[in-house]
């Protein structure tokens, strides 16, 4: 089953989402402002409608009072029936308007008291108007004139009260509008503060998330480059995301792997013999110095075996260099198999090999040397389908510090032992200690 990557968004997508998220508060602010504006308009409309429901009937009442004043003043110019009918009709409208205003709810506490006072004054005025329009009153012109003047005076008082109430209602309406405006302003301030805090919070969260999604991979890439600069080609960058940084990390890891492989190839070329895959002469010299110094420090022995293939030049001349190379590879393979895991096998030069045996006494090393000589002698080399040849080797053995006080002495003693093994007929193991016993001057 293929596992899904923990994060499949690219850096560009995360930046787009982050910037888009930061726009959310502005959208909220625009939406909140629109809602607040609509709410304010609705509240103003509602308050205005309430005011108009009071002001319009009051204005109509004022006009009706003026009309009824004209009816009473011109009562003599019209018939009695027409004047009374007109008066009653206007009176009914006035009563209806006052009742309508009184039945409507109002936030102005003085309104009902003013309307009641106007109604009381109107009742008196209504009775006086009907009285004035009676025929007997009309016949008595002197008395009628006095009543008309009284009617006009009272109707002026009512009109004054109506206008005063009208002014109060208008003032109250303006005050209510200001109060609504203050409420709206307060709501807008709260809304702006909330959206500002929200925007700040979102900005901080988005900035933190974006910075981590960028800075953490950058830090890992920087750490990887630092390791690479220090020569640690085994270091690998591991990013859980699947974005541009992950692509850079993959490229970096691929480059580091190539450099590691190149380094290993260079190390192999620098330390191993290209044909036999054992240590070369330079690496042998280094290991010999290391093991001799360790032997001096820990007071432990170290032995050296020199191995030379017998009649190798004749082998090359008779069978060719390809067979000679196969012989060298076979001997190197046998040497690696017959020594201990910690022993160091090297190609010393040409057909000659050297084996360093740390912490090995002369007896232990002699056992290894004889086993190597025997295995080389019994292992055949195939030169064709039917033909096989056998090799032999001569071995010289020396031990530190018994056979030499320095690494140069140890190498020289082992070489002398090898020369003595060849001199004695080859396919032999010769110990440097035996040569020293037979010839102390060496």
Angle between helices 24-73 and 141-229 (to 10 degrees): 180
Residue 320 shares a structural domain with residue 182: no
Residue owning tokens 């009512």: 158
My answer on whether 93 and 184 are in the same domain is yes
- For residue 424, the 8-state DSSP code is T
Cβ-Cβ contacts under 8 Å for 184 (sequence gap 6 or more)? 36, 39, 40, 43
Mean pLDDT taken over the chain: 82
Question: What percent of the chain has pLDDT above 70?
Answer: 86
Q: Judge whether 78 lies within some domain.
A: yes
Is residue 78 predicted with pLDDT exceeding 60? no
**Which CATH number characterizes residue 321's domain?**
3.30.70.270
> Residue 190: how many CB atoms within 10 A of its CB?
12
The CATH number of whichever domain residue 130 belongs to comes to 1.20.120.1730
Q: Report DSSP state, residue 406.
A: S
- Of 172, 200, 228, which closes a domain? 200
pTM of the full structure: 0.52
218 within a domain of the structure (yes/no) = no
Q: In degrees rounded to 5, what are phi and psi of residue 105?
A: -65, 145
Residues 196 and 277 in one domain: no
Inside any domain, residue 242: no
Mean pLDDT of 115-122: 83
358: in domain: yes
> Where in the sequence is the domain holding 319, given as residue range(s)?
272-438
Name which of 277, 286, 412, 373 is nearest 333 in CA terms.
Answer: 277
27 within 8 A of 167, measured Cβ to Cβ: no
Total structural domains within the chain: 2
Given a contact cutoff of 8 angstroms between Cβ atoms, the answer to whether 210 and 14 are in contact is: yes
For residue 362, give Cα distances in angstroms to 301, 366, 375, 388, 400. 8, 6, 20, 35, 9
What's the pLDDT tens digit per position in 226-237?
Answer: 888 888 878 888
Answer yes or no: is pLDDT of 3 > 60. no
Mean pLDDT in residue range 97-113: 77
d(CA 42, CA 51): 14
Same domain for 196 and 310, yes or no, is no
Q: Where residue 127 falls among pLDDT bands split at 50, 70, 90?
A: confident
pLDDT band at 5 (very low <50, low <70, confident <90, very high): very low
How many whole angstroms separate alpha carbon 228 and alpha carbon 252?
Answer: 10
**Same domain? 314 vs 399:** yes
Residue 249 is assigned to a structural domain of this protein: no
Q: Is residue 75 part of a domain?
A: yes
User: Looking at 200, 235, 259, which one is the last position of a domain?
Assistant: 200
What three-state secondary structure class fits 239? coil
Lowest mean per-residue pLDDT among 52-61, 180-189, 409-418, 419-428: 52-61
The pair of three-digit structure tokens given for residue 165, joined into one six-digit string: 């109430």
**Cα(206)–Cα(15) distance, integer angstroms:** 9
DSSP assignment of 4-49 equals PPSB---HHHHHHHHHHHHTHHHHHHHHHHHHHHHHHHHHHHHHHH
**Nearest to residue 351, comparing CAs of 332, 337, 333, 365?**
332
Q: Check the CA dihedral 62-67-69-72 and report its sign.
A: negative
Residue 337 within any structural domain of the chain: yes
Q: Does residue 331 sit within a domain?
A: yes
pLDDT 10s digits, 25-58: 677 767 767 776 677 677 666 666 665 666 777 7
Tell me the pLDDT band of 289, cut-offs 50, 70 and 90.
Answer: very high
Is the pLDDT assigned to residue 2 strictly greater than 70? Answer: no
Confidence of residue 426 (pLDDT cuts 50, 70, 90): very high
Per-residue pLDDT for 271 more than 70?
yes
CA nearest to 124, candidates 100, 149, 158? 158
Provide the pLDDT for residue 274.
86
């Amino acid at each position: 089953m293929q596992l899904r990557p923990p994060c499949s968004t690219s850096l560009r997508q995360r930046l787009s989402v982050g910037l888009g998220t930061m726009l959310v508060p502005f959208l909220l602010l625009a939406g909140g402002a629109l809602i607040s504006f609509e709410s304010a308009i609705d509240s103003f409309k509602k308050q205005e409608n309430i005011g108009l429901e009071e002001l319009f009937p009051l204005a109509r009442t004022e006009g009706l009072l003026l009309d009824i004043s004209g009816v009473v003043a011109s009562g003599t110019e019209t018939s009695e029936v027409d004047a009374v009918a007109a008066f009653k009709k206007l009176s009914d409208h006035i009563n209806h308007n006052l009742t309508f205003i009184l039945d409507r709810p109002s936030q102005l506490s003085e309104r009902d008291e003013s309307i009641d006072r106007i109604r009381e004054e109107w009742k008196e005025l209504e009775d006086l108007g009907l009285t004035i329009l009676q025929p007997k009153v009309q016949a008595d012109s002197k008395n009628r004139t006095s009543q008309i003047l009284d009617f006009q005076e009272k109707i002026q008082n009512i009109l004054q009260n109506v206008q005063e109430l009208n002014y109060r209602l208008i003032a109250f309406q303006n005050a209510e509008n200001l109060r609504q405006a203050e409420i709206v302003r307060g709501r807008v301030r709260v809304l702006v503060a909330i959206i500002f805090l929200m925007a700040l919070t979102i900005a901080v969260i988005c900035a933190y998330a974006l910075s981590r999604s960028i800075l953490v991979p950058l830090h890992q890439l920087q750490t990887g480059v630092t390791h690479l600069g220090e020569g640690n080609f085994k270091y690998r960058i591991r990013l859980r995301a699947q974005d541009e940084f992950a692509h850079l990390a993959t490229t970096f890891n691929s480059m580091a792997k190539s450099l590691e492989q190149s380094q290993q190839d260079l190390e192999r070329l620098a330390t191993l013999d290209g044909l036999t895959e054992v240590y070369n002469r330079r690496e042998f010299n280094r290991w010999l110095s290391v093991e001799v110094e360790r032997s001096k420090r820990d007071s432990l022995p170290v032995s050296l075996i020199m191995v030379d293939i017998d009649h190798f030049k004749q082998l090359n001349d008779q069978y060719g260099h390809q067979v000679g190379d196969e012989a060298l590879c076979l001997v190197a393979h046998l040497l690696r198999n017959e020594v201990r895991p910690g022993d160091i096998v090297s190609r010393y030069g040409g057909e000659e090999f050297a084996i360093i045996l740390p912490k090995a006494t002369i007896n232990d090393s002699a056992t290894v040397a004889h086993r190597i000589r025997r295995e080389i002698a019994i292992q055949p080399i195939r030169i064709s389908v039917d033909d096989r040849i056998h090799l032999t080797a001569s071995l010289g053995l020396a031990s530190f510090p018994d056979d030499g006080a320095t690494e140069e002495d140890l190498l020289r003693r082992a070489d002398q032992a090898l020369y003595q093994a060849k001199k004695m007929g080859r396919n032999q193991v010769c110990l440097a200690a035996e040569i020293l016993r037979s010839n102390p001057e060496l």
